Amino acid sequence: MQKNAGIRLARTIHFICNNEIISTEINPAASALDFIRTQLHLNGTKESCREGDCGACSILIGELNGSQVNYKTVNSCILPIGALAGKHIVTIEGLNQQNLNPVQQSFINESAIQCGFCTPGFIVSLTGSLLSSSKINYVTLLAAIDGNICRCTGYASIKRSIINFVDLHSNKINQANERTKELVQYGIVPEYFLSIPDMLNNITKEAKEDYITNGLVTAGGTDIFLQKNKEIENEGIIFIETDSKLPKIYIENNECRISASATVNEIRESSILNKILPDIKEYFSLFGSTQIRNRATLGGNIINASPIGDMTIFFLVLNSILHFSEDGKLREVSMSEFYKGYKLFDKKPKEILETISFRIPEKGLKINFEKISRRTYLDIASVNSAILINVRQNIITDISISAGGVAPFPMLLKKTSKYLNGKQLCLTNLKEACEIAEQEISPISDVRGSAEYKTILVKQIILAHFNKLFPDLIKAEELVW
């Protein structure tokens, strides 16, 4: 059983920015972006939206793992400085060398720059992917900039730059385990990257940390930093910490356990989860952006209790159990009983969500997740939904459907599921189920859509689940109504 190592707040925060060691006593809740721009005077990192939604402020954050450093792209605007302790961060300045590096050169080759305000962010994100992806190709690099917005270019020239880069360089980059060395060799990152592991070892030894127990609990901070910017500055924050030696995702007694602090990307990349939930990587490619997925945690998604949290909606149908702790006292709550109202849930103020667990779905169980939003990527759902279902000889035997954005909290469509359980899988029953779902939900009109739209979406998504999972049983023609 994994356990919270405690709550940490270092008085002095030590980290490396580019090739320099930084020590600061600044409020750990302060935004990394402000620190980078106003204290370190590194102006290549830009502020545009300040809510994690544009990537202009992208930086890399590297964490020591054995003798290697693992890098991820993150948005510095919603990143608390405290989260940098013991890490290496890289800004655009830290990628510059005497001559343009090949990523920069590819942007020049294809004129993928207009006003230039977004450009450093794109270069950083692409480099982040080069440092961290096992495979380097057009698709992986395109995915790496799903959190970078450009208002000028229409992206066509940026796509051409990636093609240009892939054509010229991708065949050279193939050793995932010696990646930093490789990139140094080809001039993609500067040589100082090679000395970072040693430097990190030294600063982590130096760091003395005081432990405190008050303040806002922060995991990835991707929700809390948007909602409570001011309170954080006043109250301070405490970071959730897990013992990094323990696995975040593991199987025990036919049960899968995921640490609350697992990030969306850790979940997407987990070989265990990909085995038992085959399309999970695909589903959560619709969650935020690369930068957000590198920070956003499962625990944060569940405790944030947004009615449209994507992971929450997904793990609801798995009948998951939430495991809380408070001063060593453990408590379990079924996720299906957890939510009580808008941002109301069964958790005591000081309780920390440690893990969530679910029984590994039996053979034959099928799962699907759907999310509909105005913009397909990097957008919050208008409605999302997951389904878990078993059909034997055309009879639905086990079923659970969840839906987000249609009630004050993430909802299990219990009545709808109950109606379908034991029924024959046919269009008549599905349509009836849609009518029941309509009765069961209580969407409101807001910027993500009118109540009427959301009602239509729930029904259509139910049909979409079946269309996707049982294309042979539910014919497309039948779904035109």
Partner 1 sequence: MVNTDLTKHVRGESIFIDDIPVPVNTVYLSILFSPLAHGKIKKIILDEAIKVPGVKKIFTAKDIPGKNQIGGIVLDELLLAEDEVTYVGQPVAVVAAETQLIARIARNKIKVEIEKLKAITDPREAFAAGELIIPPKIFSSGNIETAWKDCDVIVDGTTETGGQEHIYMETQVSLAFPIDGEGIKIFSSTQGPTVVQRIAARVLDLPMNKVEVDVPRIGGGFGGKEDQANAWAAITALAAFNLKCPAKLVLPREEDIRVTGKRHPYSSDFKIGLDKDGKILAYEFTFYQNAGAAADLSPAILDRTLFHAANSYFIPNLKATGLCCRTNLPPNTAFRGFGGPQGMFVIEAAIFKAAQTMGIEPDVIQQKNLLKEGDSFHYGQNAVNCTARLCWQSLDSKFQIKEIKDSIAKFNSSNTLLKKGMALMPICFGISFTNTFMNQASVLVHIYSDGSVGISSAAVEMGQGINAKLRQIAAKIFSVEISRIKIESSNTTRVANASPTAASSSTDLNGKALLIACNTLLERLLKSAKEDLNLKENSFLEIKNEIVYSNGNPTKSKWIDIVNSAFLKRVNLSTQAQYATPGIYFDKEISKGNAFAYHVYGTAIIETTLDCLRGIYRIDSVKVVHDFGKSFNKQIDIGQAEGGIVQGLGWITIEDIIFDHEGKLATNSFSNYKIPDIHFAPEEMLILPLENSTNPSGVFNSKAIGEPPLMYGIGVFFALANAMKAFRPNINISFSAPLTPEKVMLKLYSRSKEKSSNYLSQ
Ligand X SMILES: Cc1cc2nc3c(=O)[nH]c(=O)nc-3n(C[C@H](O)[C@H](O)[C@H](O)COP(=O)(O)OP(=O)(O)OC[C@H]3O[C@@H](n4cnc5c(N)ncnc54)[C@H](O)[C@@H]3O)c2cc1C
Residues 115-134 that bind partner 1 (CB under 8 A): 115-120, 123
Among residues 9, 74, 81, 113, which is the contact residue for ligand FES, using CB under 6 A?
Answer: 113
What is the token pair recorded at 295? Answer: 């920070």
Is position 154 an interface residue for ligand FES (rule: CB under 6 A)? no
Q: Which of 309, 405, 410, 449 binds ligand X (CB under 6 A)?
A: 309
Check binding of 370 to ligand X (CB under 6 A).
Answer: no
- Pick one of 27, 304, 325, 429: the residue that binds ligand X (CB under 6 A): 304
73 in contact with ligand X (CB under 6 A): no
Using an 8 Å Cβ cutoff, are 323 and 354 in contact? yes
Phi and psi at 308, nearest 5°, equal -125, 25
Q: Could you tell me how many residues of this chain bind ligand FES (CB under 6 A)?
A: 22
Nearer to ligand X, 226 or 272 (CB): 226
Nearer to ligand FES, 56 or 237 (CB): 56
Q: How far is the CB of 341 from partner 1 (least distance, A)?
A: 20
Considering only residues 324-353, where is the footprint of ligand X by CB under 6 A?
352-353
What residue 223 binds from ligand X, partner 1, ligand FES, none (CB within 5 to 8 A, per partner kind)? Answer: ligand X
C-beta of residue 93 within 8 angstroms of C-beta of residue 18 = yes
Could you say which residues in the range 194-253 bind ligand X, by CB under 6 A? 216-224, 226, 240
Minimum CB separation of residue 405 from partner 1 in Å reads 12
| Contact predicate 272/256, CB 8 Å | yes
Q: By C-alpha distance, which of 62, 49, 87, 113 is closest to 294? A: 62
Binding of ligand FES at residue 53 (CB under 6 A)?
yes
93 binds partner 1 (CB under 8 A): yes
- Say if CB 353 and CB 449 are below 8 A apart: no
> What track of x and - describes contact with partner 1 for positions 267 through 306 (by CB under 8 A)?
----------------------------------------
Report the partner that residue 268 touches, choosing among partner 1, ligand X, ligand FES, none (CB closer than 5 to 8 A by kind).
none
User: Would you count residue 439 as binding partner 1 (CB under 8 A)?
Assistant: no
CA distance 168 to 57: 27
Q: Which range touches ligand FES (CB under 6 A), out of 109-117, 126-134, 208-216, 462-470?
A: 109-117
Residue 321 touching ligand X (CB under 6 A): no
Q: Which of 35, 107, 165, 287 binds ligand X (CB under 6 A)?
A: 287
Q: Is the CB of 40 or the CB of 113 nearer to ligand FES?
A: 113
Query: Contact between 47 and ligand FES (CB under 6 A)?
Result: yes
Applying CB under 6 A, which residues contact ligand X?
51-53, 216-224, 226, 240, 260, 287-288, 292, 295-297, 299-301, 303-304, 309-310, 352-353, 380
